[in-house]
Structure 1
Amino acid sequence: MRRMILSVALSMTMGLSAHAAQIYKWVDAQGVTHFDATPPAGQPANPVDLQQPPLTGSVAMPTVPEADAQQRAIDDKVKKEIKVNEAKRSAMCEVMRTNLAQLRNNPRVREPVVGGGFKRLNEDERQVRITEAEKTIADYCR
């Protein structure tokens, strides 16, 4: 029993000493950053403090290059155009739904003819227009 307790205590002590080793950071001639437990010979190395607490709170965002600012401006412009197009589409859908309601509820529908005047739709023409309106609304409106 004593041997088991002694071996556990010894392994814990050795584990703690392994975690306490100093780490060094340096940059080689090619610009590559290295981390190692032993500093390089003939090069300056900075010891790394592993006992620092983790950062809390907000971290400062890196500065945005000019190209990103231009891209944001373009993105904003496109978003505005999409909103305008969506508003137009929504208005057109409202008109199409109103027209469909007129076709469904009014059996005496007239349409203008080329050259002036109006022509009354018969029942078959009205049903074709209702089917077309329903398909268009299903395709373009949500």
Structure 2
Amino acid sequence: MRRMILACSVLLALSTGATAGQIYKWVDSQGNVHFGSQPPEGQSSATVNPNVSQPKVAPPPPPAPKSEAKDEKQEELDREAKDQVAKQDKERKAYCESTRQDLAQMRATSRLRVEENGELRRLTEEERQERIAKSEAAIKENCQ
């Protein structure tokens, strides 16, 4: 058993020397790069060090500290945007409610009157149907 361990140790020690041989690099006449354990005859070659470590990557820089002035300004902009969205939403809801009420009235009454140039005029059935269609389209587009 001791002889076996001794033989394996000697073989292992000798094998590291065989893998640590010189590596050559050269470029042929077509521009192709070659690597080998023997330098080419009649061409210049360079030795390559295979034990080159990978370059260390620098850690990313730490995030810049946020200034409180920027945070306050951003918060103010966010509040203004939210207020504007809420105002637009409120106006849209009021428009939808008004349009729905007008549509319900147009459907319920066949005799509709409109004021033109200070005088009341009765709408024809075609005009009434056209206004109903426009109101339905507006509700479908803006209110659902």
Distance across 1 between alignment mates of 2:132 and 2:138: 10
Q: Where in structure 1 are there 5+ consecutive unaligned residues?
A: 1-31, 34-61
**TM-score, scaled relative to structure 2:** 0.53
Which residue of structure 2 aligns with residue 82 of structure 1?
85
Any runs of at least 4 consecutive aligned residues in structure 1 with deviations exceeding 3 A, and if so which? Answer: 62-65
**TM-score, scaled relative to structure 1:** 0.53
- Match status 1:121 vs 2:123: yes
For the residue of structure 2 that corresponds to 1:108, the secondary structure is: coil
Q: Where in structure 2 are there 5+ consecutive unaligned residues?
A: 1-57, 60-64
The one-letter amino acid of 1:82's match is V
Distance across 1 between alignment mates of 2:76 and 2:67: 13
Q: How does 1:1-142 map to 2 (within 5 A)?
A: 32=58, 65-113=68-116, 115-142=117-144
Following superposition, the deviation at residue 109 of structure 1 comes to 0.6
Q: For this pair of structures, how many residues does the alignment match?
A: 82
Aligned alpha-carbon RMSD (Å)? 1.7
Following superposition, the deviation at residue 63 of structure 1 comes to 6.7
Structure whose alpha-carbon radius of gyration is higher: 2
Which residue of structure 2 aligns with residue 47 of structure 1?
none
